[in-house]
Structure 1
Amino acid sequence: MGSWPEVGALTPFFLGTFFLAVYLLTGSSDLLHNGDTDLRYQTTQALVEHHRLWIDRPMWTDLRMHRGNGGHLYAFYGPGQVLLMVPLYVLGKAFAHHLSLPYDITTLYACRSLDLFLGALLAVVFYLFARSAGYTERISTVLTLIFGLATVSWPDAQSALEQTQVDLCLLVSVYAAWRYVLGDFARRRWLAAASAAAGAGLLTRYDFALYLPIILALPLAWRWRRQAGSGLLADVFVYVAGLVPWVLAVAAWNDARFGDPLDTGLREKTLGEPFLAGLAGLLVSPGKGLIWYLPLVLVLPWVVPRFYARCRPLCLLSASLVVVPVLFYSNLVYWHGDPAWGPRYLYTAVPYLILPLGELLGRWRTAGMGLRTAFLALLVVSAGLQLAAVSVTQWRFWYRLQAMEEHTRQPFRWGAPYYHYYWTPRQSPILIQIDDVYQIARLTFLGDTKYRFTTRPTAYTVQRHPSNPADKYPINNFAYWWVDPRHPLLGLRTRLGIAALLLAAALASLAAALSCAWLARKPPGESVVHARLITAGSRAL
């Protein structure tokens, strides 16, 4: 093997190919999983096919659609995911044309794969972030595998919602800002990169504005505490100037739809949830509590003090990136983000909750047996939860929830004000999802037809559900695209062959990544210099 620069540089590459292969292998066949993604796909379709932003026949005609210029209907979303779907839509059309595949299904699959690529890239950036936090090659590699396979990042990438794109933009921005201060403010291009990534996040979701001051606060606080204020105004100028093009792009997007640069099209009430109710729901409720969907956070009390002592500025920054969204979304009517796996609005915080776990990995041999056992148990549980989440569409949970509530005092109704399963343990999506995997396995491998759902789960009412979920979603099969019986692409043998190749690529990439991580050696003095930089920052803050 080569020296450290050659071998070590390959680790993030192989981690990226590993996660891309895994995420593509477990890609979902639920093409209509979420109405938000459906409407963004239709906007992409209108842009490519007709060079317009309005949708002629939207799949959904609720408050997510609003009449704008020309009296046409426009979706109220930002342009971020819509624009990134464009090349995938064009690629899907090309595949459909040359392979004689149905255009609608092929372009849907292609566009929905966006977050699979972004999710793999997110894992790579997390690895680089862990390295910049002072963790070794080996610890950073293991930590990245935990992040990509044992956290909600995996099912979130499969959902095709825009959250993975937001998470990526934020992590890139934070990583760039952190590299800027680690370099002792010598390379302002890192700050420009942080600004550009933050602008891309704002282009994707308007509430990304929450994070803009936090990112800038890191270099400003570092300068102030170290009494290096001579470049403070220049930092502010570079950061703000980098945001301006993105803000103008958002304004142009709004003006093109609604004739007003400040009109996003949002008409529904967003704020107003009682704060304590939303806070408890996000953190501890059986239906949406973060501690149940990401049980690894239970280890944090044993690792955060050491992380704080070793790297105080990064610890404070991470804490801010966790606390701020929790406080904001606790007051949101749609705090739950349903339909979705877990509290998806808090997923931006996941990298910063997982990063301190590297402290335990770094002192693994000296850590207590009880702590190591608890960590491994929580790791296995968390990974199992995420695997269950990607194995069966969550619409099977919604089908069963509707059936469970049909003959109660509060029959099921769609809409944020009407969901009430969050504090009923037996209606926990986690418990039902695990049972769904068991049921689908029985149905698939043993032919146990009592687990096949075909009838309507509720009486017909437009307010509660206008159609039967069993007719729209693959609730009676495993959710992987290569076993999709509803709208299969290519023949079964071809699909299974592609799946086998992806599995082989994942295993080969994993072996290569681990080999590079374990064989790599740091250049002399690198760890000393890096430790001094972090220590200096810790003393400054």
Structure 2
Amino acid sequence: MLAPNPSSSRHFLNPSRLVRLTLLLIAAFTLAYFLVSAGFDSTEGRSHYELAQQVLQKGELGIANPQSGTFDPGPDGRKFERHDFGNTLFMLPWVAVGNAFTAALRSRLPLDRSDRLSSFLVSLNGPIAAALVCAALFWILTYCLELAPRIALTAAIALGFGTTFFQYSKTVYDGLLASALIMMALACAFSYMRDARAGWVLSAGILLALAFITRSTCLLCAPPIAGYLAYQAYRRNLTPGAWVRMLLFFGSPFLLAGVWQGFYNQLRTGMFWRYPVLQPQWAWIMTFHGGNIFNGIAGVLFSPGKSIFLYSPALLLAVPGWRRMFVQYRAEAWTIVALVVPYFLMHCAGRKWTGDWAWGPRYFLVLIAPLFIPAALWLAEDTHKRTRRIWMTILLWGVLSQGAAIWNDWQYRYEILSLSGHTENELVWRLPHAPWLDAIENVGRNIQRMAGRRSWDVVPGASPLHQQAANTVNFWWLNIPLGPTTRLVLFMVIAVLLFLDLVLWKVLGRECARTSAMPATS
């Protein structure tokens, strides 16, 4: 059994009630993220979207003449996406719905491109994935660690709006999807500790397998979670038959994922074990060749342009909670450490630990949510006003810095900085050129542009829509090309959605506060 929380009574929530709270939280976060989304993706997700269209329209994984730049020639002469397939897989339902509506309403839709509706729907995957990360944290803190829902909600808000998840909710970056899958798998594993249901083991296996075919490096997260499940099973003195069943539940999804990955690699490179990113033209970037692990560690932790704490300030809130985590939830703490350390060190050792063109150290997005779990323990046990003030100060800084990024288009700003002659080394190691600082400064510049007092920054080849979003406010409902009447109707709809989201947050806060005040029941 886990050690009880010594500072307060435990909160054994009715599972059905907790499910309702979690679904309400998902809805509130998703709607909040949706209202500030861009409505289009300017990251590598564009390539995954192009592949999704190819799969649905022609039933093929290869493309003769792709428009995106992340396709490489395969053995049969066609070009294949060098990234893994998981992100494309989760786009397929949205693309199918968007294509169907576009075909039915083509003559009535004010679109400047035939697939605009489909690409807009695909952009919803970002808000949903970020919301699922926050929901998984909420579930872990309440159902698994038995903290008060009020504390869990506060922690989820800090994670959702005080870290890079806020900014990445505007994208369909595959690392965001992988983060959601890993965090949900961790929630399933910790839930097995509570009630020993075999379904949690199967769910953890499925989620980890999906994470593996989304970003293959997520395979590093499987052994720690498997070890945790085995430890819990050992403590429960399972029969040999139960061990076999547990092994099948957890391992079968990986077997299927491995078969798929081998087949996909065979198509792309001619060898089932070789990934496209390990081809000679990419291996010098994507492997340890020329890397310096100490440089990577220093950069991820302390560099002005890529420090994980500058882009996700809320992570600082977790630091005081680690001692409590090891005292009260030792097995869970070691599981998180075993999950984080190998992944962290491997990516720090890589030549491109920076993630290249990215908002912060994007390769480490997967680690942020697990690392944040101890923050809730500090908030739950340290009730001093000073602690609350520290929480609010750090959270406010996180929201403001991420809010500046939400206002801007970080990839467009990277291009502007690059065109201005700034090198990647300057963007990483020189504070005046740090992207997060540029984002804050550019909010003021964009206000001047909207007032007609400053000219636009123009990236050659960027679409008019992209230029407008990057030089004004990067919200989809402000930039979508519509007539005056239609735009007025849209603004009314946005006002209703904003009011609905505020109602959701109010109801969620009231329900969590009321549940936290109720006596614990088992």
> Which TM-score band applies after superposition, normalised by the shorter structure?
0.7 to 0.9
The alpha carbon displacement at 1:262 in A equals 2.5
The alpha carbon displacement at 1:420 in A equals 4.0
- Residues 138-177 of structure 1: per-residue CA shift (max 9 Å, x gap): 1112211222122211211212101121011111211111
Matching residue within 321, 327, 344 for 1:309: 327
CA distance in 1, matches of 2:392, 2:225: 33
**Secondary structure of 1:288's aligned partner:** coil
Residue 449, structure 1, aligned to residue 454, structure 2 = yes
Long gaps (5+) in structure 1: 406-410, 413-417, 457-466, 528-541
Q: Does the CA contact (< 8 Å) of 1:454 and 1:471 recur in 2?
A: no
- Residues 42-75 of structure 1: per-residue CA shift (max 9 Å, x gap): 11111111221122332344xx322225311111
CA distance in 2, matches of 1:212, 1:236: 13
> Aligned letter for 2:499?
A
> Aligned letter for 1:379?
L
Q: Which sits farther off after the overlay, 145-154 or 214-223? A: 214-223
Change (3 A) 1:59 1:489: farther
CA distance in 2, matches of 1:238, 1:141: 32
CA distance in 2, matches of 1:468, 1:93: 25
1:536 is aligned to none
- Residues 101-141 of structure 1: per-residue CA shift (max 9 Å, x gap): 43222222122221222222222222111111221121112
CA distance in 1, matches of 2:231, 2:17: 36
- Residues 224-256 of structure 1: per-residue CA shift (max 9 Å, x gap): 578779665654444223321122222233334
Change (3 A) 1:383 1:196: same
**Secondary structure of 2:31's aligned partner:** helix
The alpha carbon displacement at 1:95 in A equals 3.1
Residue 38, structure 1, aligned to residue 46, structure 2 = yes
- Residues 319-377 of structure 1: per-residue CA shift (max 9 Å, x gap): 22332221010012221223221111111111122211112321353x3x444322221
Q: Does the CA contact (< 8 Å) of 1:453 and 1:470 recur in 2?
A: no
CA distance in 1, matches of 2:181, 2:476: 27
1:425 is aligned to 431
Change (3 A) 1:378 1:18: same
> Aligned letter for 1:265?
P
Change (3 A) 1:328 1:486: farther
Moved over 6 A (4+): 3-6, 225-229, 468-471, 486-490, 521-524
1:187 is aligned to 197
**Secondary structure of 2:427's aligned partner:** coil
Residue 379, structure 1, aligned to residue 395, structure 2 = yes
2:295 is aligned to 277
- Residues 266-296 of structure 1: per-residue CA shift (max 9 Å, x gap): 2211122111111111121111110111122
1:335 is aligned to 353
The alpha carbon displacement at 1:485 in A equals 5.6
CA distance in 2, matches of 1:74, 1:203: 15
1:514 is aligned to 509
Change (3 A) 1:225 1:32: closer
Q: Does the CA contact (< 8 Å) of 1:319 and 1:352 recur in 2?
A: no
- Residues 504-529 of structure 1: per-residue CA shift (max 9 Å, x gap): 121011011112112226886646xx
Residue 199, structure 1, aligned to residue 203, structure 2 = no
RMSD: 2.8
Q: Does the CA contact (< 8 Å) of 1:255 and 1:261 recur in 2?
A: yes
Matching residue within 124, 130, 133 for 2:145: 133
1:49 is aligned to 57
**Secondary structure of 1:74's aligned partner:** strand
Matching residue within 16, 35, 47 for 1:25: 35
Q: Does the CA contact (< 8 Å) of 1:337 and 1:344 recur in 2?
A: yes
Matching residue within 373, 376, 391 for 2:407: 391
CA distance in 1, matches of 2:267, 2:276: 11
Matching residue within 240, 243, 255 for 1:244: 255
> Aligned letter for 2:359?
W
1:154 is aligned to 166
TM-score by length of 1: 0.84
CA distance in 1, matches of 2:445, 2:480: 17
Q: Does the CA contact (< 8 Å) of 2:22 and 2:138 recur in 1?
A: yes
Q: Does the CA contact (< 8 Å) of 1:27 and 1:480 recur in 2?
A: yes
Long gaps (5+) in structure 2: 1-12
CA distance in 2, matches of 1:221, 1:488: 61
CA distance in 2, matches of 1:192, 1:505: 36
CA distance in 1, matches of 2:250, 2:97: 35
**Secondary structure of 1:494's aligned partner:** helix
Q: Aligned pair count? A: 495
2:67 is aligned to 59
Matching residue within 71, 93, 111 for 2:122: 111
Change (3 A) 1:47 1:338: same
Residue 100, structure 1, aligned to residue 109, structure 2 = yes
1:475 is aligned to 470
The alpha carbon displacement at 1:213 in A equals 0.8
Change (3 A) 1:301 1:75: closer
Q: Does the CA contact (< 8 Å) of 1:151 and 1:294 recur in 2?
A: yes
2:20 is aligned to 10
TM-score by length of 2: 0.87
Aligned pairs for 1:277-296 (under 5 A) are 277-296=295-314
Q: Does the CA contact (< 8 Å) of 1:278 and 1:331 recur in 2?
A: yes
Change (3 A) 1:497 1:173: same
Change (3 A) 1:428 1:172: same
> Aligned letter for 1:453?
D
Q: Does the CA contact (< 8 Å) of 1:396 and 1:436 recur in 2?
A: no
**Secondary structure of 1:66's aligned partner:** strand
- Among all aligned residue pairs of Structure 1 and Structure 2, give the percentage whose two residues are the same amino acid: 19
Q: Does the CA contact (< 8 Å) of 2:320 and 2:375 recur in 1?
A: no
The alpha carbon displacement at 1:494 in A equals 3.1
CA distance in 2, matches of 1:449, 1:72: 46
**Secondary structure of 1:142's aligned partner:** helix
CA distance in 2, matches of 1:101, 1:95: 13
> Aligned letter for 2:356?
D
Q: Which sits farther off after the overlay, 306-315 or 197-206? A: 306-315
